[in-house]
Amino acid sequence: MTGRAVFVLFVLSAMAFASPGFSQEQQTEPASPVEVALEGGSAASSEDAPTLRSPPSEGSPAVEAPAAPAPLTPQAEALRKALLALPAGADDEERNERAALLSFYETRRYAPLWFAASGVPTPKAGSLAAEIARAADYGLDPRDFAVPAGLDERAQTAATRVGDQKPEAIASDEIDISRALLKYGRFARGGRIANPSEHLSSYLDRRPQLLKPEAILDGVAATEEPDAYLRGLHPQHVQFERLRQKYLALRDKKKSAEAKRILANMEQWRWMPADLGDLYVWNNIPEFTQRVVKNGEVVRKERIVAGQLDKQTPVFTRTLKKITFKPTWIVPESIKVREILPSLQRGGGMMQEWQLELRDKDGRTVDWRRINWYRTDIRIFNVVQPNGAKSVMGKVKFSFPSQHTVFMHDAYPPDKWMFNKARRTYSHGCMRVQNPIGLAEILLKEDKGFEAAQVRDAVRTGGNDNEFDIERRIPIHMTYFTALVGDDGKLHTFPDVYGHERRITLALEGKWSQISRGKDHLAPVELQMVSEQRRSRYAEDDSADAPPRVWRNNASFRGGFLDSLFGRW
């Protein structure tokens, strides 16, 4: 450094010390371009320059940078690569399972769960494989689960062949076992038919009660008894186990009609909620029977009427929300379009016969006689039936809202004969209850502590639409079990009135192309206007609800025709 340069540095330093507010900490600013040049370096911006910090005070621990993670073992690296190479999956379930596997093993630093570091299968692997091999005991097919063969033999002989297997082979077997576990867990919870309402029938509003794949992996990893864990994935309902025992007794007749029926019903139990409720109402459609169950015991049992073959009662579970005495009936869209509108175009006989009213969307009554029903969309109106002598809802209605718009309710008095029939498919989809007042007494006692006399007084002296909100959780289970095992141990079977059992059986056998889904009852109702030119067809009877000409003089049919439209709702 030249003498001139030293002099410049001295002057600059003196100026800095003379500046007010100078402190030692302020010297942390980066060197100026002049200083850099004097040292033979290059200029740098203040953003690029390192910041000098005061040394830690005495007694303060020094902050150390986190240690770099240890490199993966060859086995872990092989497993990581194999997981990343897994295909994305053909559906949501497979994609979710792939993501769960990646996350699960990443958390474990890709340490195998089913193999020791030496490549020997662990006892957990053998226990899991043995239980999967017994899948047929639960109505599943062991061939659906690709568990590597000979795990027990490999465990017994591995001691003399430690290190023989390549990491890639162990990684492949590790993934196969975990994927078999997840698939078993999915099938045990009903996942063989992923979406019954889409794949079988819109009336089957059920979904498999699947567990998250992450929960299954974590659950098995945390237990020393994976076989018991797998058994616990199946439904724990009493009826499922009873049916399973009946199925085991048919081990040599698994292709028989009885065995297939039992399997179809076991599959439906996989779709049921794990917790049916401490108190619930169970309507079994093929049996045409209602049960009230409290703490696992049936406290009430009676007959019901279900939907017609083309107006089926849907299969689903919802929670009871209201009990209404002397309810008003709001006619559903499908009945308005398909049955009320044709009657209005013929003169409105149904409106008069069943004391129906037409109301706008604000609730105002409209004179239906002053409307040209050949040019008017009936869907802009509500058709209602105030409670009265001809009320199709009877004296009480039980509401558990759903997209299906069905209820449990009383029977129109002239239709009480329906309960004496063995096959009771007469309604538009709702469940007629033989003794709805008795049902209301039980439920209101449980929910509000009402005595039977209070319920009867509400029916006798209360006004129309006398509603009681239900605060207690009371599930309403609409089921389609064609086989149940009684307390006597006998198998009781019921007719497959809607064909759901056949659909489920075909699906379990993989015969998807043979399944007839039928109509989508939730599809929007399309309005098919009748042209005015067709009015001449009804010229003879333009003021009454005339049945087709061939039955015009058949009085018994005439009553049945009207009942089929309204009295059987």
Report the 10 Å Cβ neighbour count for 57.
Answer: 6
Q: Does residue 528 lie in a domain region?
A: no
What pLDDT, on a 0 to 100 scale, did the predictor assign at position 90? Answer: 80
Q: Does residue 248 lie in a domain region?
A: yes
Q: Which of 27-36, 59-68, 126-135 has the highest mean pLDDT?
A: 126-135
Q: State whether 248 and 378 are in the same domain.
A: no
Q: How many CA atoms lie within 13 A of 147 on its CB side?
A: 26
Q: What amino acid is encoded at 77 in this protein? A: E
With a cut of 60, say whether residue 292 has pLDDT above it: yes
Higher-confidence residue of 546 and 261: namely 261
Q: State whether 13 and 102 are in the same domain.
A: no
What pLDDT, on a 0 to 100 scale, did the predictor assign at position 23? Answer: 43
Cα-Cα end-to-end distance for the chain: 107
Given the structure tokens 């558990």, which residue do they identify? 400
Q: State whether 134 and 251 are in the same domain.
A: yes
Q: Does residue 523 lie in a domain region?
A: no
What pLDDT, on a 0 to 100 scale, did the predictor assign at position 349? Answer: 92
User: Please, which pLDDT band fits residue 37 given cuts at 50, 70 and 90?
Assistant: very low
Given the structure tokens 């957990």, which residue do they identify? 124
Residue 438: strand, helix, or coil: helix
Summarised one tens digit per residue, pLDDT across range 190-224 is 999 999 999 999 999 999 999 999 999 999 999 99
User: Please, which pLDDT band fits residue 153 given cuts at 50, 70 and 90?
Assistant: low
User: Please, which pLDDT band fits residue 288 given cuts at 50, 70 and 90?
Assistant: very high
DSSP assignment, residue 195?
-
Report the 10 Å Cβ neighbour count for 75.
Answer: 22
Quick one: three-class SS letters along 505-521? Answer: HHHHCCCHHHCCCCCCC
Given the structure tokens 């003196």, which residue do they identify? 14
| CB contact set of 502 (below 8 Å; sequence gap of 6+) | 496
Q: State whether 392 and 476 are in the same domain.
A: yes
Whether 94 contacts 183, CB under 8 Å: no
Summarised one tens digit per residue, pLDDT across range 472-483 is 999 999 999 999
Q: What does the alpha-carbon distance between residue 82 and residue 176 come to, in Å, rounded to a whole number?
A: 11
Whether 398 contacts 406, CB under 8 Å: no
Summarised one tens digit per residue, pLDDT across range 406-457 is 999 999 888 899 999 999 999 999 999 999 999 999 999 999 999 999 999 9
> And the tokens for 537?
């067809």
User: Buried b / exposed e across 28-44, counting CB within 10 Å, b at 16+?
Assistant: eebeeeeeeebeeeeee
**β strands within 434-496, DSSP E:** 466-469, 475-479, 483-485, 491-493
User: Please, which pLDDT band fits residue 523 given cuts at 50, 70 and 90?
Assistant: confident
User: Please, which pLDDT band fits residue 91 given cuts at 50, 70 and 90?
Assistant: confident
Q: Average pLDDT of the chain?
A: 84
Whether 319 contacts 475, CB under 8 Å: yes
Q: State whether 6 and 80 are in the same domain.
A: no
Whether 244 contacts 265, CB under 8 Å: no
Q: What does the alpha-carbon distance between residue 225 and residue 230 come to, in Å, rounded to a whole number?
A: 9
From residue 562, alpha-carbon distances to 343, 420, 429, 545 in Å are 11, 20, 16, 9
Of 316, 285, 264, nearest in space to 501 by CA: 264
With a cut of 50, say whether residue 62 has pLDDT above it: yes
Characterise 486 by phi-psi region: left (phi > 0), alpha (psi -120 to 50), beta (else): beta
CA Rg value for the chain: 37
What mean pLDDT do residues 344-360 have?
94
Of 320, 102, 127, nearest in space to 213 by CA: 102
What pLDDT, on a 0 to 100 scale, did the predictor assign at position 2? Answer: 53
Whether 515 contacts 503, CB under 8 Å: yes
For every residue of 276-343, DSSP letters joined together read --SEEEEEETTTTEEEEEETTEEEEEEEEEEEBTTBPPPBEEEE--EEEESPPEE--HHHIIIIIHHH
Q: Does residue 471 lie in a domain region?
A: yes
With a cut of 50, say whether residue 17 has pLDDT above it: no
Residue 467: strand, helix, or coil: strand
Q: State whether 84 and 10 are in the same domain.
A: no
Q: Does residue 85 lie in a domain region?
A: yes
Q: Does residue 551 lie in a domain region?
A: no
Q: State whether 88 and 3 are in the same domain.
A: no
> And the tokens for 499?
């064909």
Helix axes 167-188, 123-133, angle to 10 degrees: 40
User: Buried b / exposed e across 232-244, counting CB within 10 Å, b at 16+?
Assistant: ebbbeeebbebbb
Whether 476 contacts 408, CB under 8 Å: yes
With a cut of 50, say whether residue 565 has pLDDT above it: no
Q: State whether 39 and 164 are in the same domain.
A: no
Q: State whether 387 and 303 are in the same domain.
A: yes
Q: State whether 280 and 413 are in the same domain.
A: yes
Q: Given 257, 290, 318, which residue is the final one in a domain?
A: 257
Beta bridge partners of 325: 396, 466
From residue 381, alpha-carbon distances to 361, 365, 393, 401, 406 in Å are 6, 10, 20, 21, 20
With a cut of 80, say whether residue 7 has pLDDT above it: no
Q: State whether 140 and 176 are in the same domain.
A: yes
Q: Does residue 349 lie in a domain region?
A: yes
Query: Which range among 40-54, 226-240, 512-526 shows the weakest confidence by mean pLDDT?
Result: 40-54
Whether 337 contacts 537, CB under 8 Å: no
How many domains does one find in the chain?
A: 3
> And the tokens for 81?
């690569």
Q: Does residue 525 lie in a domain region?
A: no
| CB contact set of 331 (below 8 Å; sequence gap of 6+) | 340, 356, 382, 383, 384, 385
What pLDDT, on a 0 to 100 scale, did the predictor assign at position 158? Answer: 53
Q: State whether 88 and 12 are in the same domain.
A: no
What pLDDT, on a 0 to 100 scale, did the predictor assign at position 32? Answer: 39
Q: What does the alpha-carbon distance between residue 252 and residue 492 come to, in Å, rounded to a whole number?
A: 21
DSSP assignment, residue 27?
G
Of 493, 513, 480, 486, nearest in space to 256 by CA: 493
Q: Which helix (H) or strand (E) holds 398?
A: strand 396-399
| CB contact set of 344 (below 8 Å; sequence gap of 6+) | 350, 351, 368, 371, 373, 378
**pTM for the model:** 0.79
Domain that holds residue 142: 74-257
Residues of the chain with pLDDT > 70: what percent? 78
CATH code where residue 313 lies: 2.40.440.10
